[in-house]
């Protein structure tokens, strides 16, 4: 039995995308102990993951914080890790490699750098979709990839029966109209117009809800939808997963909840401007489709409304 380390720091969308890769690593190391190094927002969440032995917290303090760095590296070295799967592939994790396994190749440290195809530069490789990059990385590291291309984030779900009862939620559409303050080019501006169209067609048969994050609650008052909170606080990731999974339809900007929705098997659409492509971020699934335009400000509510498919909903 060996000890295996997976590194995945974030972000939320990336966490959902990595689920299949983590499952494949587990399936190929089912006699080993598998540890995952992650950051505080995902530490408790990953403790629920059935494919992990334990989770290690990386506070990601400055590299010049030598006391912290020594403590973290010492803890990892004590595990006598035989192989690392770096699914973060960042400058920080490359720095960790130089400390933990300075001269290792892909047999010890599997990353996008150590498994880079001979006929591609790193910049060229990074243009491939996220899941295809994971697939190449793992297969080059002798991992059979049965799940990498089809991540399943359902393990993250929690019981939200009380929340659904409190808000009388049965059939509902959930919207994710927000985005990070520094990524406003991802934000579609016509959610209230879309809400009016949905209400006009479905009247009271279908509730329209939003579930703002901790920093989005103050913005929620600007959206004409039912705001779902837990004791006046934002839902945690596991609660949000269940709310998404039980929804009739999801409409989202290109943010973390959109990627959660895609890999929870939810039915819905996500809206893309020119900031990236749906292909590159591997978001298109059987039930979850992108609308890609050059300018989100020119995407009308009518066009989005036409893409809402509620044919399988049995209204009372």
What sign has the CA pseudo-torsion 117, 123, 125, 126?
A: positive
Residue 85: strand, helix, or coil: strand
The tokens for 164 are 């659904």
Distances in whole angstroms, Cα of residue 276 to Cα of each of 115, 159, 238: 24, 34, 27
What 8-state DSSP symbol labels residue 23? H
Q: Give the global pTM.
A: 0.94
| 3-state helix, strand and coil shares in percent for the chain, rounded to the nearest 5 | 35, 15, 45
- Please give the mean pLDDT across all residues of the chain: 95
pLDDT band at 315 (very low <50, low <70, confident <90, very high): very low
Domains in the chain, please, with CATH?
A: 3-152 (3.40.50.2000), 157-306 (3.40.50.2000)
Query: Which residues touch 203 (CB under 8 Å, ≥6 apart)?
Result: none
Burial class (CB in 10 A: 0-12, 13-18, 19+), 185: middle
Each residue's pLDDT tens digit, 113-160: 999 999 999 889 999 999 999 999 999 999 999 999 999 999 999 999
User: What are 48-87's pLDDT values in tens digits?
Assistant: 999 999 999 999 999 999 999 999 999 999 999 999 999 9
Report the residue count for the chain: 316
Report which of 240, 239, 261, 241 is spatially closest to residue 250, judged by C-alpha positions: 261
The Cα 9–Cα 47 span in angstroms is 14
Q: What is the mean pLDDT of residues 162-185?
A: 93
């Amino acid at each position: 039995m060996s000890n295996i380390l997976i590194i995945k720091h974030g972000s939320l969308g990336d966490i959902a995308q990595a689920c299949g890769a983590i499952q494949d690593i587990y399936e190929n190391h089912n006699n080993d102990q598998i540890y995952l190094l992650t950051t505080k927002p995902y530490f408790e969440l990953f403790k629920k993951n059935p494919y992990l032995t334990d989770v290690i917290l990386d506070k990601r303090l400055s590299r010049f914080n030598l006391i912290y760095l020594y403590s973290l590296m010492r803890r990892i070295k004590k595990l006598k890790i035989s192989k690392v799967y770096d699914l973060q592939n960042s400058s920080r994790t490359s720095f960790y490699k130089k400390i933990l396994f300075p001269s290792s190749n892909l047999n010890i440290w599997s990353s996008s750098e150590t498994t880079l195809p001979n006929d591609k530069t790193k910049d060229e490789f990074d243009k491939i979709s996220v899941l295809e990059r994971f697939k190449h990385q793992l297969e080059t590291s002798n991992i059979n990839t049965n799940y990498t291309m089809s991540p399943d984030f359902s393990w993250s779900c929690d019981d939200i029966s009380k929340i659904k009862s409190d808000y009388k939620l049965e059939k509902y559409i959930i919207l994710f109209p927000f985005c990070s303050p520094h990524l406003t080019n991802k934000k579609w501006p016509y959610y209230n117009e879309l809400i009016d169209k949905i209400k006009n067609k479905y009247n009271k048969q279908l509730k329209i809800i939003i579930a703002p994050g901790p920093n989005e609650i103050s913005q929620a008052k600007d959206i004409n939808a039912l705001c779902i909170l837990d004791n006046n606080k934002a839902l945690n990731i596991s609660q949000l997963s269940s709310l998404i999974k039980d929804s009739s339809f999801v409409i989202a900007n290109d943010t973390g909840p959109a990627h959660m929705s895609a890999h929870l098997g939810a039915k819905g659409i996500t809206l893309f401007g020119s900031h990236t492509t749906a292909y590159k971020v591997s978001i298109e699934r059987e039930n979850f489709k992108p609308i890609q335009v050059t300018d989100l400000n020119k995407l009308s509510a009518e066009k989005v409304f036409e893409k809402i498919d509620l044919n399988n909903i049995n209204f009372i």
